[in-house]
Amino acid sequence: MSRAPTLVVVDFNVESRFLLVKSLRRRFPSATIYESDDEEKVIEIARAVDLAAIVAHRTHTMSGTELVRRLRDADPQVPIVMVSGVNREADARGAGATCFMHYDEWPRIGGIVETHLRSTGGTIAPGFDVA
């Protein structure tokens, strides 16, 4: 039996976070989605939970690139999609993000997560194959 994916969305802006989660729910309706504006809480989740992917913008006290670095330290394998309203692709990848998405593309986040996981031949959670 397949298990639904577990995802994390971290963004300091409640409305932006809501839109990202809404888009992910369309693609992964049975997913468990943790959402927060607190980097320490998200880093703790990344260490403790077998995540399918993390979508990270920034928090009130931490930039997106620093957040990605800390998340990558917490889980070296999890796909991390960094989002920003400014093109920070080089910085995002340098910090350890798997990919970068401009925030204006938020409706595509579910497809981006799924496409990336398919292209790497991975699964979105143990027992839940995206292929």
Average pLDDT, the chain: 88
Q: Are strands 99-102 and 123-125 parallel, antiparallel or unpaired?
A: unpaired
CA–CA separation, 116 vs 118, rounded Å? 5
Q: What pTM, to 2 d.p., does this model score?
A: 0.88
In three-state secondary structure terms, 60 is coil
Contact between 10 and 59 (Cβ < 8 Å): yes
Per residue in 57-73, pLDDT tens? 999 999 999 999 999 99
Contact between 106 and 9 (Cβ < 8 Å): no
**Residue 121 corresponds to which tokens in the numbers above?**
């031949």
Q: Report phi then psi at 88, rounded to 5.
A: -120, 30
CA–CA separation, 72 vs 97, rounded Å? 8
